[in-house]
Amino acid sequence: MASQLKGNANHPCQPHRERQRSGHRACRPIHGPVDAVRERDLGSRTADPSHAMAALTGDAGLATSRDDDATGQIAELYLLQAAFHRAASVHNPDGLDTQDTLDQRIADMLALWADGGSLTLNTVSPARTFEERGEPGTASCAPGSNTLCDFFTNVAGSFQPDNRFVSLAPAYKLHLELDGDKATIYFECHYFDANTWQAKNHVNFDGTAKKVNGRWLFWQANASGVGVPYP
């Protein structure tokens, strides 16, 4: 889309310099996560037989309903990753989170994962894999139990009692791709200390989600270090 707009001086979002010369305020094309995915998948989705049938019969309702459903699924996946960042960020704007708040954040994070889910941490050597959700307050969350609960309770820096981290995620790095009741999902977590605004950690989430009882949940993920989030 951006390449199409670049040479079109008559488009309302014409290049910034041309609009400045013409006396109009410049505007930028908006590329949200849903639009980005719809653009990227356009070729494969328009090749779907339902789209061809709609064109032949004049019944656009079939193709439209499929598009609307796909957009809704992408929106749900977007909210899933947003909930991840919210749970991974300190909630108290004035100080450390209380233990009750930390416990709730961990519970909120675990609720985003399907039973049998796993996360492989590639920022340590050898890589370490955490499997199954685990149950807060039980032995399945103890250090070394290698469950997701163990990871978020005892390993992940953003959930440690003495840390005030926030997880920031560039929207333009988010990639979502549907495959029926499964999806691939990629996003980045750039952690900053809320006290000093110093960078603390930069990792990605490169994995999958699946739909369980009508709800999207994380299924598998690899977490690796990343650099500056250039577009």
Q: pLDDT tens across 56-109, in order?
A: 334 545 446 677 889 999 999 999 999 999 999 999 999 999 999 999 999 999
What total number of domains does the chain contain?
1
pTM metric for this prediction: 0.74
Q: Are 188 and 169 in contact (CB under 8 A)?
A: yes
The string of pLDDT tens digits covering residues 2-30 is 333 333 333 333 333 333 333 333 332 22
Query: Is 34 within the bounds of a domain?
Result: no
Classified as helix, coil or strand, 64 is: helix
Query: Sign of the C-alpha dihedral, residues 92, 97, 102, 103?
Result: negative
Query: Is 126 within the bounds of a domain?
Result: yes
State which H helix or E strand residue 177 sits in. strand 175-179
C-beta pairs of 227-230 under 8 Å, 24+ apart in sequence? 227/202, 229/170, 229/173, 229/188, 229/190
Q: Are 141 and 130 in contact (CB under 8 A)?
A: no
The string of pLDDT tens digits covering residues 98-156 is 999 999 999 999 999 999 999 999 999 999 999 999 999 999 999 999 999 999 999 99
Q: Domain containing 93 — which CATH number?
A: 3.10.450.50
Q: What angle, 0 to 180 degrees and rounded to 10, lies between the N-to-C axes of helices 99-110 and 61-87?
A: 150
Query: Is 108 within the bounds of a domain?
Result: yes
Can you spell out the DSSP letters for 88-148? Answer: TS---TTSPPPHHHHHHHHHHHHTTEEEEEEEEE-SSSS-EEEES---TTSGGGSTTS-SH
Residue 27: its pLDDT value, please? Answer: 30
Query: Is 154 within the bounds of a domain?
Result: yes
Residue 45: its pLDDT value, please? Answer: 34
Query: Is 123 within the bounds of a domain?
Result: yes
User: Which residues span the domain enclosing 94?
Assistant: 68-223
